[in-house]
Amino acid sequence: MIDIHSHILPGVDDGAQTVEDAINMARLAVEEGITKIIATPHHQNGKYFNKKQDIINRVTELNLLIQKENIPLEVLPGQETRIYGEMLEDLEKGDILPLNHSKYIFIELPSGHIPRYAEKLLFDIQLKGLTPLIVHPERNSEVIENPDKLLNLVKKGSLTQVTAGSITGHFGKKIQKFSLQLIESNLTHFISSDAHNISTRSFKMRDSISEIEKEFGSQAVYYFKENAELLLQGQTVYKQEPSQIKRKKFLGIF
């Protein structure tokens, strides 16, 4: 299994704080069935700044440590960048790191809203030959209030990733049900852990896969696993036609 979103790099953000923490996360990832994991430290979120080359260097160091511990896990470079107006300029400067050097780039929205400039910026990113991948939209209050805004972004070429813990209920039943609605409406393309540690924010990948299989069948599980593989290879991922969330049904979860 591939996990495309994690905070396993030690000492760079609110994820693993020490090398020991990172090693413990690596061991737990393997127990979850994960063989490859993308380290995606926070960048430009107002508190943490992790530029491309710094991340690449730290990933190399962490892989050496993991190999010494004989843990069968490969860490790959990535970045979770909070959306901001100068993203394109910093991309050209070499500060922004697509996932595993692919054409896919993580975009984190603020938790409370979608910035007015988001649609244009996401379009401009695509003009550069990259594909924006919006992380955990199920935890954005404006998306929850008006899912059609996410539908609009997806129809215009953005992809999305839902957190495994959202599907298992870690963030509450409302977010759990909304996450399942996003899957049902083809409004998400990846499931990943967004793991920060082994206690309060662990992987939950295996449990989320079980939940998806129970709700949507084995084909849905295959869809998400295959997309993660395609992303790592830099190939075009599968996209199903997105649809509007049924408002009456959606409102019933709150």
Q: Model confidence over 226-245: pLDDT tens digits? A: 999 999 999 999 999 999 99
In sequence order, which residues have a C-beta less than 8 Å from that of residue 115 and are 6 or more positions away? 83, 109
Q: Within a 10 A sphere around the Cβ of 195, how many other Cβ atoms?
A: 27
pLDDT of residue 250: 47
**SS3 of 26, please?**
helix
Residues 6+ apart with CB under 8 A from 34: 1, 2, 3, 73, 193, 203, 205
* pLDDT of res. 251: 46
Residue 196's domain spans which residues? Answer: 2-251
Residue identified by tokens 């380290």 is 39
pLDDT less than 70: residues of the chain:
247-254
At 131, which CATH number? 3.20.20.140
Total structural domains in the chain? 1
Is residue 78 within 8 Å of residue 99, measured between CB atoms?
yes
